[in-house]
Amino acid sequence: MDISDYKQRFDQRIKQKLSKSELEALKVEYLGRKGIIRQLFSTLAGLSSLDKKKVGQQINEFKFYIEQKLSELNSKLVEPTQEFFDPSLPKIKIKKGSLHPITYAVEEISSIFSKISFVRMSYNEVEWEFYSFSALNIPADHPARDDVETFFLDYPEDKKYGHLILSPHTSSGQVREMLRLKQPPVRMINIAKCYRPNWDTTHTPMFHQFEGLCIDKGINITHLKGTIDYFVKQYFGENRQIRLRPYDFRFTEPSFEIDISCAVCSGTGIYNEEKCRVCKSGWLELGGSGMVHPYVLRSGGIDPDIYSGWAFGFGIERVFLMKEGLQVDDLRVFYSGDLRFLSEF
């Protein structure tokens, strides 16, 4: 018999549907120790060296062909199920962890500002009155410095820096950053915990703010507008608009309240033919900002006749809720440690 006959026979055999054990038997029959391939090789002995080479090669090709076919068939075999099996059964539980929602917001905000070369910093939460107030043009008799507006700590007063307090805003980092860098340019994003004595459904005595600060030659209102616009479009979405409204803060001049267009009513103030319930006539308050007050620049050792800058401070809880469109009836849930709430994130 010729090799091609053997091949034909083999092809015939594998045309039928073969079980796993039949396939196994076929393998032994052809490739086994006493199998057909071995037998074919043994016939080589009587051939001339030229033929040996030629036939040997044919046998090898045939062997390779068999191996390939068998392995193909083998991989196509479906193993019958031995025992009951429900692939949808969740037998093992791997506990899913969670990060605090504020962590997600902080990470996203930091990354948005790092793309435009703002450096993230962190400053003390237990702070001197000087950095939180005096250096920021907030005089000693200002209402914000009352103990009903700011937490004071029982600690000896410092002659230069005043009382020890819990910083009520991230703006205390402004002058600290100017002093760290000694001279402009300044590009800072400061994210920290802040504290104020309010505790109700819309206020927690501890909250988070992020503060942007940019100081350089030739910085003006258009840069503040452009940078906040960039942040808003990155964080909230391309289609959101901002507007500046006049406001008053001691440490900025001019000062602005920043509003962003409402996503629910697309800034129209009307939703489903009714007044939008989420916003005030199409706009939502984002937070305060302004051009750094000359007094503050001087506190940081920077000449306001040469340099100018802008700053803003926004609440993180607020932007997080605004972004996600979450309806949290009681802000206190953020710091309640309620795992039913926290594990949703």
Partner 1 sequence: MNIKLSYNWIQDYFKTDLSAQDFADRLSLVGPSIERIEKFSDDFVFDIEITPNRVDMACVLGIAQEANAAFSSSEGKFFNPFAKFNYSKFKQGFSGLGQNFEISLLSDGATRYIAVAFSGVRVGPSPDFIAKRLTAVGIKTINNIVDISNYVMLELGQPNHIFDLNRIAKAELKMKRIEKPEKITLLDNRTVRLEKGDLVFIDGDKRLVDLCGIMGGSLSSVVDQTETILITVPVYDKLSIRRTSMRLGIRTDAAVLFEKGIDEERSEWAVKLLCDLLSKYAGGRPASEIWDFYPEPYKPIKIKSDYQRIVELIGVKISRDQIKTILERLGFAVEIDSDKFVITVPFYRKNDIATVQDIVEETARVYGYHKLPSRLSPFVLVKADEKIEKVFEYQSRVKHLLADLGFNEVMNYSMTDEQTIKKFREDVNNYLKITVPISKRLEYMRQYLFPSLFDNAVANQGFVDEFKLFELAKVYFKKPLVEELRLSILTSADYYYQQAVVRHIFESFNIYDYDFVQSQYSFLASRQADIIVKNKVIGFCGELKESLPDTKVFSVSEVNFEALVELAVKIKAVKPLPKYAVIKFDLNFELTDNLKFSDIKTTAFKHLKNLYDLEVVDVYKNKRLTIRFFFTSFDKNLTEEFVKKQMRKLVDLLGVSDKFNF
The interface with partner 1 within residues 246-285 (CB under 8 A) comprises 246-248, 253-257, 280-281
Structure tokens at 94: 């791997």
Query: Is residue 108 within the footprint of partner 1 (CB under 8 A)?
Result: no
Q: From CA 249, how far away is CA 236, in angstroms rounded? A: 25
DSSP per residue over 332-344, as a string? GGGGS--HHHHTT
The residue (of 141 and 329) whose beta carbon lies closer to partner 1 is 141
Q: Rounded to the nearest whole angstrom, what is the least distance from the CB of residue 4 to partner 1 in the complex? A: 50
Burial 223-252, CB ≥16 within 10 A → b, else e? bbbebbeebbbbbbeeebebebeeeebbbb
Q: Which of 11, 72, 147, 157 binds partner 1 (CB under 8 A)?
A: 147
Query: Is residue 146 within the footprint of partner 1 (CB under 8 A)?
Result: yes
Give CA separation, 313 vs 90, 119, 171, 243, 323, in Å: 47, 15, 7, 16, 17
Query: Is residue 343 within the footprint of partner 1 (CB under 8 A)?
Result: yes
Query: Is residue 335 within the footprint of partner 1 (CB under 8 A)?
Result: yes
Q: Which of 27, 69, 152, 234 binds partner 1 (CB under 8 A)?
A: 152
Contact criterion met (CB below 8 Å) for 325 and 264: yes
Task: Give the footprint of partner 1 on residues 126-145 (CB under 8 A).
Answer: 126, 141, 143
Give the binding range for partner 1 (CB under 8 A) out of 3-11, 36-44, 71-79, 330-338: 330-338
Query: Is residue 308 within the footprint of partner 1 (CB under 8 A)?
Result: yes
Give the binding range for partner 1 (CB under 8 A) out of 9-17, 35-43, 72-80, 216-224: 216-224
Structure tokens at 124: 């003390």
Nearest to 191 by CA among 122, 258, 111, 286: 122
Give the binding range for partner 1 (CB under 8 A) out of 15-23, 37-45, 76-84, 91-99: 91-99
- Bridge partners of residue 243, in order along the sequence: 259
Contact criterion met (CB below 8 Å) for 190 and 210: yes
Q: What's the one-letter identity of residue 332?
A: R
Query: Is residue 227 within the footprint of partner 1 (CB under 8 A)?
Result: yes
Q: Which of 67, 161, 205, 298 binds partner 1 (CB under 8 A)?
A: 205
Query: Is residue 100 within the footprint of partner 1 (CB under 8 A)?
Result: yes
The residue (of 7 and 332) whose beta carbon lies closer to partner 1 is 332
The residue (of 48 and 117) whose beta carbon lies closer to partner 1 is 117
The residue (of 22 and 324) whose beta carbon lies closer to partner 1 is 324
Nearest to 127 by CA among 92, 90, 175, 83: 175
Give the binding range for partner 1 (CB under 8 A) out of 2-10, 80-88, 153-161, 321-329: 153-161
Structure tokens at 23: 């396939």
Q: Rounded to the nearest whole angstrom, what is the least distance from the CB of residue 255 to partner 1 in the complex? A: 8
Helical axes 3-15 vs 49-76, angle rounded to 10°: 10
Query: Is residue 179 within the footprint of partner 1 (CB under 8 A)?
Result: no
The residue count for binding partner 1 (CB under 8 A) is 87
What phi and psi values does residue 235 have, to the nearest 5 degrees? -85, -45
Query: Is residue 235 within the footprint of partner 1 (CB under 8 A)?
Result: no
Q: What's the one-letter identity of residue 108?
A: E
